[in-house]
Amino acid sequence: MARVVVITGPSGVGKGTLIRALRDRIPELELSVSATTRNPRPGEENGRDYWFLSREDFERRIADGGFVEHAEYSGNRYGTLREDLDKRTSAGRPVLLEIEVQGARQVAKTMPEALRIFIAPPSADTLRTRLVGRGTDAKEQIDRRLAVAEDELAAQPEFPVVVVNDRLEEAIDELTRVVATGIDEARP
């Protein structure tokens, strides 16, 4: 059943923007709250945007099998907490995971029934423009994220669904269609 929806794609492609719009269109969709070792950005809240953990705490949870998937990304650890995901799926609502490519690969193996969607930019140059425009990351962070993006873009063919985020409204429409269909097909 595709009650778990995975959205992946390079940093700056517009995942966060699309997901906000998607949740307005499909209010029953729950968002999984990941754990990370990176510092909160201004305005981010513990338990709402992420569970912000120390590296020691994160690593202890890995050893305890506390993660459904986890990855090192741009100098920090990120992962989906088993407890957080179970709590949301057992409430019977479809759950969305916004994760990077290595984590999405792990989910393909451990939860093959999950609907996996790759968000692609219209061109590689778009990513820098959008990351600079977003204004949340220092130049060094942006360069690191763009270096990772090259590999991430190469992973696109591994994903059964690709949505190109060129014109925002069109991408929102397409993503909504794909997710709504996936959720309906999985309804018991």
Which residues contact ligand 5GP by CB under 6 A?
11, 34, 38, 69, 71, 73, 78-80, 98-100, 102-103
Question: What own/partner pairs with CB < 8 Å and gap ≥ 24 does 60-69 have?
Answer: 61/35, 67/35, 68/106, 68/107, 68/110, 68/111, 69/99, 69/103, 69/104, 69/106, 69/107, 69/110
Q: Is the dihedral of CA 62, 39, 9, 23 positive or negative?
A: positive
Which of ligand 5GP, ligand ADP, none does residue 13 bind (CB under 5 to 8 Å by kind)? ligand ADP
- CB 159, min distance to ligand ADP, A: 15
Which of ligand ADP, ligand 5GP, none does residue 133 bind (CB under 5 to 8 Å by kind)? ligand ADP
Question: Interior CA angle at 92 toward 80 and 182, to 5°?
Answer: 80
Q: Is 14 in the site for ligand ADP (CB under 6 A)?
A: yes
Which of ligand ADP, ligand 5GP, none does residue 68 bind (CB under 5 to 8 Å by kind)? none
Which of ligand ADP, ligand 5GP, none does residue 34 bind (CB under 5 to 8 Å by kind)? ligand 5GP
Query: Is the CB of 11 or the CB of 80 nearer to ligand ADP?
Result: 11
Q: Is 133 in the site for ligand ADP (CB under 6 A)?
A: yes
Give the number of C-alpha atoms closer than 13 A to the C-alpha of residue 109, restricted to the C-beta side.
7
Q: State which of residues 16, 40, 92, 160 lies at the interface with ligand ADP (CB under 6 A).
A: 16
Q: Is 13 in the site for ligand ADP (CB under 6 A)?
A: yes
Q: Is 144 in the site for ligand ADP (CB under 6 A)?
A: no
Which of ligand ADP, ligand 5GP, none does residue 144 bind (CB under 5 to 8 Å by kind)? none
Dihedral angle at the C-alpha atoms of 118, 146, 101, 16, nearest 10 degrees?
-60
- C-alpha distances out from residue 171 to 12, 71, 121, 137, 178, Å: 15, 27, 11, 24, 11
Contact assessment for residue 34 and residue 78, using Cβ atoms and an 8 Å cutoff:
yes
Which residues are near ligand ADP by CB under 6 A? 11-17, 130, 133-134, 165, 168, 171
